[in-house]
Chains A and B, each alone.
Chain A
Amino acid sequence: MSALLRIEQAALVRGGRLLFEGLDLMLVAGEAAHVTGPNGSGKSSLMRMVAGLLRPSAGRIERAAVALCDNGLALDRELPLGRALHFWGGPRLAEALTAFDLDRLTEVPVRLLSTGQAQRARLARLMAGGARLWLLDEAHGGLDRDGVARLDAAIAQHRGDGGAVLAASHVPLAGHWRELAL
């Protein structure tokens, strides 16, 4: 089976500082890796590099279609949540709304969402896009117990469906993850 993500000897320099070098990582369908490391160790930069938003200073990256959930909301604040998410569309939008319990919030303007609700919206956008590789940057932050359970279930389902996940998180994650310490 071909890899959904293959990082070979990647290095990243930001602001004159070497964040990591010689990084190798391969994820095939169903696999997931948990990136750990202290604040400022380059977890978010790694995510952005895999997403294609930052160019590696050295090494190479091959990957499947990717979706990133970081702290950017990227939803129009004045629109109702349903329409704001609809802008990004995606084949699994209806399913994603249900998976993160957002069905009853579709008429609520984005600017009125709470921290946890906004996090569910980010995750719904990630899921809706139908990308096979998920990048989760502190995706558990702000979620209540129900939200965490829903995210863990969504991750398990995504892996079961042949997807892969790369997650940076300070909290332990449910299920089996490969550890990648930066």
Chain B
Amino acid sequence: MRLAAREVRRALAGAAWLPVAFFLLVATIVPFAVGPDAQLLSRIGGGALWIAALTAALLPIERLVEPDRADGTLDQLAMAGVPEEIVGAAKIAGHWLTFGPLLLAAAVPGSAMVGLDGPALGRCLVALAIGTPALAALAVAVAALTAGLPRAGALAGLLLVPLAVPLLIFGAAASGADGGAALKLEAAVALLIVAGAPFVTGAAIRAARS
């Protein structure tokens, strides 16, 4: 709990607004790229918001694990008897708290940019609410896997995006009309990622020591 609270405090002291600003920016450029055709926009709007959310999830990766590895915090936690998996779970929870709710709030103006109407916005919010914990979990796991490597930021992007593809497929489908089945599959994928990520994170933290 104290670890998760520490993550939240560090994110708020840092740049928690940055991924959200990036999300809105990407959502804003979609109409510029595809033109002002309202029908086309509202058809691709859900998917565009998901691409925006995925790219926004990439931004904070470098500050999630690497600073704690570099300054010995992870070592001191290990000596204090905290399992690495708990560290991973706390980081995921703390990261989601400063990422998920803000992103959901930003999705409301974001959906207006890509021309989603009320019901479509509702579906999109539900799909994002289920998907953001998985995005946060993936971001922490990938951050742990790339911590300490040269060009970690670029590498993290290459790792995270393919891993997020199933989430993207079902999440974007769940944002469209008739998305009930896709929503269930999205929830299943998200559950798998959220459940597995702390173990990946823990193993990666341990592996980075040797």
Contacts and interface: CB of A to CB of B under 8 A. Distances in A.
A53 B206 CA distance: 8
Contacts of B78: 52-53
Given A52-B79, A78-B13, A70 B2 contact: no
B75 A73 contact: no
Interface in B4-47: 6, 10, 13
B210 A55 contact: yes
B71 interface: yes
A67 interface: yes
Contacts of A129: 80
B2 A67 contact: no
Contacts of B80: 88, 129
A75 B6 CA distance: 11
Nearest to B77: A74
Given A51-B79, A52-B79, A54-B209, A73 B72 contact: yes
Interface in B66-92: 70-73, 75-76, 78-80
Contacts of A70: 72, 75
A20 B38 CA distance: 70
A41 B201 CA distance: 31
B6 A71 contact: no
Contacts, number: 46
Interface of A: 14, 48, 51-55, 66-68, 70-76, 78, 87-88, 125, 129
Contacts of B79: 51-53, 66-68
B207 to A, nearest CB: 12
A71 B209 contact: no
A176 B140 CA distance: 47
A73 B73 CA distance: 8
Nearest to A129: B80
Interface in B176-210: 209-210
A54 B210 contact: yes
Contacts of A75: 71
A71 B73 CA distance: 11
Contact of B76 (A48, A54, A72, A78): A72
Contacts of B209: 48, 53-54
B6 A87 contact: yes
Nearest to B67: A77
A66 B76 CA distance: 10
A14 B209 CA distance: 11
Contacts of A78: 10, 13
A31 B75 CA distance: 25
A114 B100 CA distance: 38
The 8 closest A-B pairs by CB, nearest first: A72-B72, A74-B72, A74-B73, A74-B76, A73-B71, A78-B13, A72-B71, A53-B209
